[in-house]
Amino acid sequence: MDELDNQSITRSSGAGNTDKPVVLVTGSSGLIGTKIIKKLARNYRIIGLDRVGNPYPPVEAECVSFDITSEDSIRMAMERVRYGYGSKIASVIHLAAYYDFSGKPSPMYEEVTVKGTEKFLHELQNFEVEQFIFSSTNLIYKPTVPGQKINEDCPIEPHWDYPESKVDTENLIRHNRGKIKAVLLRLAGVYDDYCHSLPISHQIQRIYEKQFTSHFYSGDVTHGNVFLHMDDLLVALEKTVKKRASLPDEVAINIGEPETPSYEDLQMQIGLLLHGEEWETYKVPESLAKIGSWGMNLFKDSFIKPWMIDRADDHYEFDVSRAKDLLGWAPERRLPDTIPVMIGKLKKDPVKWYKENRLELPASLEKQEKRKKTDQKEHAT
């Protein structure tokens, strides 16, 4: 047991309840991982798998630290699972993956997302696993146009490393799953009431600060991306686990909202909520937008990267009928209905909202935060 003793483990109080099926969650310390653990904990015994170190999982789960790029680390982690929970696993929710919004090529996509999944699946063949759920993305599809919905049989055409790694991993799962049932959940862009969505939070930030760039867009403003509220995603994951016995041996399922708001719609809504006026947005020629983006990144690490200019025209619109038929799932929330909630939280406590979304505080909020800390120190003394 020396190897197991060296494995970083955090036990949960409910780990010994053998009446509940076992569910593994990789990426357990991430935003989705922590929330799905809490949601499933009542009906399942949960083991969280995440990077070596201190992932600080929810108390509802036991966390076993592992490095998904290392066969030895995966084997040791899974031996801990076998020792504590046996060899039967109801479902594996595989969220661990590499992601970098800079758009820069990275060997980590191959090492973590693709080869890491391959190593993990190989080790899972030594267990009695009923189901393997893979978190894929809507970005694997060929973009469409407004009014033309994307179903699971539509053409696959990823345009940068992140969705390419998801396509490669989907194909790998098909060929390496063995007898394990596989569900490929193609997820829309996830957000919640505090936002926690990179593109939406930066769009709100630009308008909130009345940045010059907030009035310009390099793509078709009538196009947009498909989104998904965190709460609806958690319900979809829960239903996928619950219906594992009745699902096909291998299936892809779109998970997202059936209506896609345009970039212009969001601009107008955010502008009205923040400043009481419609936010005029003008189309910028692609060549000029790339020069501007390149220039901004010379002096400061800007969110808008040149690669985004190439994708500004992309439009994604989901057909989620398969999710309804197989899972009995349909989203209950819509992004336009949640934008006012996000803006309300921003207005109530701008500093907290910026920190929640990992945004750099503007000078006015920096001063406000420093003043608040000074007042707190003086009050304490």
Q: How far apart are CA 277 and CA 267, in angstroms?
A: 10
Instruction: Answer whether 158's CB lies under 8 Å from 139's CB.
Output: yes
| Mutual angle of helices 263-275 and 335-348, in 10-degree steps | 30
Contacts (Cβ under 8 Å, ≥6 apart) of 171: none
Q: Once rounded to an integer, what is the mean pLDDT over residues 159-163?
A: 92
Q: How far apart are CA 374 and CA 369, in angstroms?
A: 9
Instruction: Answer whether 190's CB lies under 8 Å from 348's CB.
Output: no
Q: How far apart are CA 17 and CA 262, in angstroms?
A: 48
Q: How far apart are CA 49 and CA 39, in angstroms?
A: 17
pLDDT of 1 > 60? The answer is: no
pLDDT of 305 > 70? The answer is: no
pTM beyond cutoff 0.85? yes
Q: How far apart are CA 170 and CA 355, in angstroms?
A: 34
Return the amino acid letter for 243. Answer: K
Instruction: Answer whether 124's CB lies under 8 Å from 176's CB.
Output: no
Contacts (Cβ under 8 Å, ≥6 apart) of 346: 204, 208, 274, 353
The predicted pLDDT at position 304 comes to 57
57-95 tens-digit pLDDT: 567 888 898 999 999 999 999 999 999 999 999 999 999
pLDDT of 13 > 50? The answer is: no
* Phi, psi torsion values for 88, nearest 5 degrees: -90, 125
201-257 tens-digit pLDDT: 999 999 999 998 899 888 899 999 999 999 999 999 999 999 999 999 999 999 999
Residue 250, beta-bridge partner list: 182
DSSP 139: G
The predicted pLDDT at position 372 comes to 73
- The Cα diameter of the chain in Å comes to 66
Instruction: Answer whether 132's CB lies under 8 Å from 177's CB.
Output: yes
The predicted pLDDT at position 368 comes to 78
- Output the CA–CA distances (angstroms, integers) from residue 373 to 36, 349, 369, 377, 379, in the order listed: 35, 15, 6, 6, 10
Tokens encoding 214: 């907030």
42-66 tens-digit pLDDT: 999 999 999 865 555 567 888 898 9
Tokens encoding 218: 């390099």
Tokens encoding 11: 């036990």
Domain 2-189+227-255 grouped into CATH 3.40.50.720? yes
362-381 tens-digit pLDDT: 888 887 777 777 667 667 66
Q: Once rounded to an integer, what is the mean pLDDT over residues 317-343?
A: 98
Return the amino acid letter for 349. Answer: D
Instruction: State whether the Cα torsion 28-184-263-36 is positive or negative.
Output: negative
Instruction: Answer whether 228's CB lies under 8 Å from 164's CB.
Output: no
The predicted pLDDT at position 5 comes to 39
For the chain, the domains span 2-189+227-255
pLDDT of 169 > 90? The answer is: yes
